[in-house]
Amino acid sequence: MGNGFIVVFGKLIKSNCSCVVVNVYAACSLSDKLVLWRELSDLKKASSDVIWCFCGDFNAIRKNGERKGVSMSDSNTSEMRDFNMFIEANLLFEIPLVGKPFTWFNSNGKAKSRLDRVLVTEEWMQTWPMCKQYVQNREVSDHCAIVVKYVDKDWGPKPFRTINAWFMERGFDVMVKDKWSSYVIQANAFTVLKEKMMRLRVI
């Protein structure tokens, strides 16, 4: 734990890969945010070869369009620049957003900003390429909750495809025949055909 963040370390059971989720709650002042971003950067540098996710209320925007109904000042410009520098320096990516473009609303709803987000490393994107952040309806808080989901739709059996140029390669047909013969599967004819085709696809 630190001033403005809580870190959870864990491991993915299937791959035994280390994973870190950092829940962020940034202060309002830019000076405090700079301290926070520096501490988070040092934390990430100290633990390499892990999957990282930074999520929560960063209390900062990345571009002008992420704030409405609030006058922009020089401090806002500095904040955007420093926040984007933090993201770039740590090689973070923002996963696709689904839902409302803003996550914070004042009491009358006229002022709104995109203060909450989910930032991840490339390793996270490789592990969960279909990951998205979904903005929920605002309930008790003046912030909207964000839910991260990984949606991997199963569209059914994938067709078996081949490339005609492969058949022009010397020894290709022999290789396929040898592989086909090497698969020993005890089942009915239909299952044997299906299993052999599946194994042949990954050669």
Q: Does residue 156 fall inside a structural domain?
A: no
60-104 pLDDT per residue, tens = 999 988 999 877 665 678 899 999 999 999 999 999 999 889 999
pLDDT value, residue 26:
95
Statement to judge: residues 57 and 138 lie in one domain: yes
Q: Does residue 59 fall inside a structural domain?
A: yes
Q: What is the widest separation between alpha-carbon atoms in the chain?
A: 73
Q: Does residue 158 fall inside a structural domain?
A: no
Statement to judge: residues 12 and 61 lie in one domain: yes
Statement to judge: residues 35 and 58 lie in one domain: yes
Gap between the Cα atoms of 25 and 117, Å rounded? 11
pLDDT value, residue 171:
85
CATH at residue 60:
3.60.10.10
Q: Hey, which bits of 44-196 come out as E strands?
A: 51-57, 67-68, 93-94, 97-98, 104-105, 112-113, 116-120, 131-135, 146-150
Q: Does residue 131 fall inside a structural domain?
A: yes
Statement to judge: residues 45 and 86 lie in one domain: yes
Statement to judge: residues 33 and 128 lie in one domain: yes
Using CA atoms in the order 53, 57, 60, 63, what is the torsion angle rounded to 10 degrees?
60
Domain that holds residue 120: 5-150
Share above pLDDT 70 across residues of the chain, in percent, rounded to a whole number: 90
Statement to judge: residues 120 and 192 lie in one domain: no
pLDDT value, residue 74:
59
Q: Does residue 155 fall inside a structural domain?
A: no
Statement to judge: residues 28 and 105 lie in one domain: yes
Per-residue confidence at 166, pLDDT binned at 50, 70, 90? Answer: confident
pLDDT value, residue 188:
83
Q: Which pairing describes strands 93-94 and 146-150: parallel, antiparallel, or unpaired?
A: unpaired
Q: How many domains in the chain?
A: 2
Gap between the Cα atoms of 51 and 124, Å rounded? 5
pLDDT value, residue 5:
96
pLDDT value, residue 173:
85
Statement to judge: residues 174 and 78 lie in one domain: no
Statement to judge: residues 29 and 59 lie in one domain: yes
pLDDT value, residue 156:
63
- Contact between 133 and 148 under an 8 Å Cβ cutoff? The reply is yes
What is the residue-wise DSSP string for 43-54? HHHHS-SSEEEE
- Residue 155 pLDDT more than 70? no
Q: Does residue 114 fall inside a structural domain?
A: yes
Statement to judge: residues 16 and 114 lie in one domain: yes
Any bridge partners for residue 97, and if so which? Answer: 133
Q: What is the pLDDT of the chain when averaged over all its residues? A: 87
37-54 pLDDT per residue, tens = 999 999 999 887 789 999
Q: Does residue 157 fall inside a structural domain?
A: no
Statement to judge: residues 110 and 86 lie in one domain: yes
Q: What are phi and psi of 125, to 5 degrees?
A: -65, -35
Q: Does residue 44 fall inside a structural domain?
A: yes
Statement to judge: residues 139 and 185 lie in one domain: no
Q: What is the DSSP letter of 138?
A: P
